Amino acid sequence: MRYIKFKQEKEFKNMTSININKEMFGQLIHKEKPVLVDFWAPWCGYCRRIGAAYEKISEEYSDILIAGKVNIDEEPQIAEAEKIEIIPTLVLYRDGKAIDSIVAPESKIMIENFINEALEK
């Protein structure tokens, strides 16, 4: 995971997931590319377990989406605004709107299926 400053979408190509702060969140979800956001916390054991699968997804799907992570302890206002009550929750945004979400995905395959089904909407 890398902490980077938001500049242009091309900076996110071929990168693992990025840590998203409040300022970046509003800008990212309005990008042309869909944005997959993992709402998580460091104390959440299940969040850490699916972390590797999420990082693989962020690499493999970098051509079609931007993958980011919101630490709900560091950015509670984002989690509250997005009505995140259970973690991990993955939300896929397109054109500034949440198009679908999944809570506690069990595997990489489950995340991939979620992405593919959500992008068809």
Q: Which among 31, 17, 19 is positioned nearest to 59, based on CA atoms?
A: 17
In this structure, the strands spanning 18-19 and 66-71 are parallel
Catalytic residues: 44, 47
Q: Which among 106, 94, 99 is positioned nearest to 29, based on CA atoms?
A: 94
Q: Which residues contact 111 (CB under 8 A, 6 or more apart)?
A: 50, 53, 54, 57, 90, 102, 105
Measured between alpha carbons, how far is 13 from 1 in angstroms, rounded to an integer? Answer: 14
